[in-house]
Amino acid sequence: QVQLVESGGGSVQAGGSLRLSCVVSGSIVSARTMAWYRRAPGNQREFVARIANGGSTYYRPSVKARFAISRDNGKNTVYLQLNNLRPEDTAIYYCNDALTSLPWGQGTQVTVSS
């Protein structure tokens, strides 16, 4: 069974940085288009960024200049580098296959204070 385990979240002040990790077990991540999503308090889960198996990336406009998605196929891991964080980035961050939804992991909490 495929499992997704996110980590790397924390509490930072505005302008700070974090690096999130998503370890995929039970499947080969290199064949997948992987994505990061987030859910802020009171909101629905929303798309943040994705990376195709060929390496091309796509971001929601509000994070494009600040976040960077990457992957290490050898470690079966997908990363999300978060820079210049804003209070509105506060959310639980999740990873998943962008094309074929897998069972969701527990996510990792990111809290940004002003």
Query: What is the token pair recorded at 25?
Result: 């077990």
Sheet holding 18-25, edge to edge: 3-7, 18-25, 77-82, 67-72
> Do residues 32 and 53 lie in contact, with contact meaning Cβ atoms separated by under 8 Å?
yes
Cα–Cα–Cα angle for 102, 103, 107, rounded to 5 degrees: 110
Sign of torsion, CA 86 89 93 95?
Answer: negative
Q: Is 99 helix (H, G, I), strand (E, B) or coil?
A: coil
DSSP string, 37-96: EEE-TTS--EEEEEE-TTS-EEE-TTTTTTEEEEEEGGGTEEEEEE-S--GGG-EEEEEE
- pLDDT tens track, the chain, 114 positions: 899 999 999 999 999 999 999 999 998 888 899 999 999 999 999 999 999 988 999 999 999 999 999 999 999 999 999 999 999 999 999 999 999 989 999 999 999 999
